[in-house]
Amino acid sequence: MKIRFNIWVIFIAAIIGLIGLADAQTAKPGEIKTITLETGEVVPDLTGEWDAAVENFGRGFRGPTTNVLKITQEGNMFKAVRLQDEAKRAKGTMFMQGELDKDGFKSVYFVDFAARLLPCTGKIGEGGKEIKIDEGFSVRATLTRR
């Protein structure tokens, strides 16, 4: 009788543990999807395809453009490449790159026509489904996860 009771207690504890594990790995609405690095630091997971709406303004005004980007992430470093051709920019060229920390962006850079890195401010919003990047002088972009 005591052995049956112990088996049931272990069985119920295992079920509760599995349910808790499954719940912990599921991003809840409004939460940013994250990954845990080897160092134990938790950073946002930006990996995937994103729709980009880009505003070009200021001295080098070229008008608004759109594209699809693929962000790849290795640890806390990420880069985004274009998946479609643009005027003067080919498919596969670098769009932006940067570094993440637990609060979002540690650094983020647009890559201009001359392959220069332009420092920007960036914010991850909408539960990790939207990124806003602003260079401040000539370009800003809103990325939406597909």
Over range 35-51, report the average pLDDT.
94
Where along the chain do its domains lie?
2-29, 42-145
User: What is the chain's mean pLDDT, rounded?
Assistant: 85
Query: How much is the pLDDT for 32?
Result: 82
Beta bridge partners of 51: 68, 144
38 φ/ψ angles, rounded to the nearest 5 degrees: -60, -30
Residue 17 — very low, low, confident or very high, per pLDDT cuts 50/70/90?
A: low
- Residues 57-110: pLDDT tens digits? 877 667 788 999 999 999 999 999 999 998 778 899 999 999 999 989 999 999
Q: Coil, helix or strand for 107?
A: strand
Closest CA to 145 of 50, 14, 37: 50
Q: Quick one: DSSP state of residue 83? A: S
pLDDT of residue 76: 95
SS3 content of the chain, % helix, strand, coil (to 5): 20, 45, 30
- Tell me, what's the pLDDT at 21? 52
CATH superfamily of 42-145: Quinohemoprotein amine dehydrogenase alpha subunit, domain 2 (2.40.128.120)
By C-alpha distance, which of 140, 87, 93, 98 is closest to 115?
Answer: 93
Cα–Cα distance list, 87 to 63, 73, 84, 122, 142 (Å): 11, 26, 10, 24, 19
Q: Are 96 and 79 in contact (CB under 8 A)?
A: yes
Q: What pLDDT, on a 0 to 100 scale, did the predictor assign at position 114?
A: 84
- Whether the pLDDT of residue 138 is over 80: the answer is yes
| Whole-number pLDDT of residue 70 | 98
